[in-house]
Structure 1
Amino acid sequence: MTGRNAGARGIAAVVQVRAEGEVSEGALAYARSKIDAVVNRPGLPVVTGEVRIAKAAAHHAEHPWSAVADLRVGTRVVVVHAEEATSQEVTDRLQDRLRRQVERAAHGGSAAHRLVTPPWRGGQSPEAPVGRNTPTDTPTSG
C-alpha cells in the first residue's frame, strides 16, 4: 500500500491525516473535519501526531475500512483503532473513541474515578476543612 499525505489543512498544524489505499478526497475531508472537532477544542494541551485512514484491497473483507490515530496529548500518548464497513462509519467510530481518550489524557487519566478514603478508614469527612488533619477521636489530657 502506498500512503499519500493528505496534509493538515483545517487541523492543528501538528496533526496529519493520511490515506492508505483507495481513499477518496471526500472521505479524507470528512475525516479531517471530525478529527479537527476533537483536537482543536479549547483547554486541551498541545496535540501532535497522525491519523491514518485505510481501505483494504480485499473485497471480501467484512470491515474493509480501518482507521488508526496515534496522537500525543500533552505528555500522554493516545492510540485509537477502528474498523467498519464504510468510510463514514469508521470516521464516526474513530471520532467517538478519540474524544473519550483525548478527554481522559487531557484531564489526568481517571480523575473522575478516583477513590476517596472514607472517614472511618482514616480519610477526611466531607465537612472537614481541606488540608487539615482533624481527627475526631483525639484524647484530651486532663
Structure 2
Amino acid sequence: MTVHEAAGSSVRVRADGDVGEKDLAHVRAKVEAALARPGLGEVSGEVRVARAAAHHAGQPWSAGAEIRVGKHAVLVRAEEATAHELADRLADRLRVQAERVAHRAGTARRSAGPPPWRGGEADARAAEKVPPREV
C-alpha cells in the first residue's frame, strides 16, 4: 500500500495492489484538477485506488473516494479497464458531485415572503399610493 498526500490539498491518494507510480500520479493529478474549483471551501478526504490481481477481471481498476467539501460528504466509486480511464471517470464524477455541493450551499432554502393578508406584496402596492381609476 502506498499513500501520497498532495502538497496544496488535504486529499490523500492511497494505492492497494499492483499500482505503478505513473498511474497513481495520473489519478492524483485528475483528482486535484476536479476539486480545484473556486468557492468549494475546505476539501479533505481520501481516494483509494486498487488493481485486481486476477488477470481475467473485466475491469481490474477500481477507486473509491470519500471527500468532505465543507460540511458535505462526497462519495464516489468507479471501475474501469485501465488506470487512465479510471482517472478520467473518477475526476468526472468528483467534479459533478463538487458542483452539486457548491450549488447546494449557494441556494439554501429561503422562506417565501409573507402573504398579502399578513403585510406582503399588497402593502407594498398600497404604499405606492396608486390613484383610483375614473369610470
**TM > 0.5 between the two?**
yes
Q: Could you say which residue in structure 2 is the equivalent of 1:19?
A: 15
Aligned residue type for 2:49: I
Q: 1:97 aligns with which of 84, 93, 96?
A: 93
Inter-partner Cα distance in structure 2 for 1:60 and 1:9? 33
Structure 2 unpaired stretches of 5+: 123-135
Residue 110 of structure 1, CA deviation: 9.6
Q: Could you say which residue in structure 2 is the equivalent of 1:8?
A: 5
1:79 correspondence with 2:75 = yes
Cα-Cα RMSD: 2.8
Q: How does 1:1-142 map to 2 (within 5 A)?
A: 3-5=1-3, 7-12=4-9, 14-108=10-104, 111=107, 133-135=120-122
Measured against aligned partners, the alpha-carbon deviations of 1:48-68 in whole angstroms (never above 9, x if no partner) come to: 000111101111111100011
Partners of 1:10 and 1:32 within 8 A in 2:
no
Inter-partner Cα distance in structure 1 for 2:31 and 2:100? 16
Structure 1 pair 77–52 and aligned structure 2 pair: CA distance change class (3 A): same
Q: Taking every aligned residue pair, what percent have the same amino acid on both sides?
A: 50
Residue 86 of structure 1, CA deviation: 0.4
Instruction: Name the larger-Rg structure.
Output: 2
Residue 9 of structure 1, CA deviation: 3.1
- Per the normalisation by structure 2, the TM-score is 0.76
Structure 1 pair 11–83 and aligned structure 2 pair: CA distance change class (3 A): farther
Structure 1 unpaired stretches of 5+: 124-131, 136-142
- Per the normalisation by structure 1, the TM-score is 0.73
Aligned residue type for 1:84: E
Aligned residues: 119
From the two aligned structures, give the one with the greater helix fraction: 2
Q: Which has the higher contact order (CA 8 A, sep 6+)?
A: 2
Could you say what secondary structure the match of 1:108 adopts? helix
Aligned residue type for 2:89: R
Partners of 1:48 and 1:71 within 8 A in 2:
yes
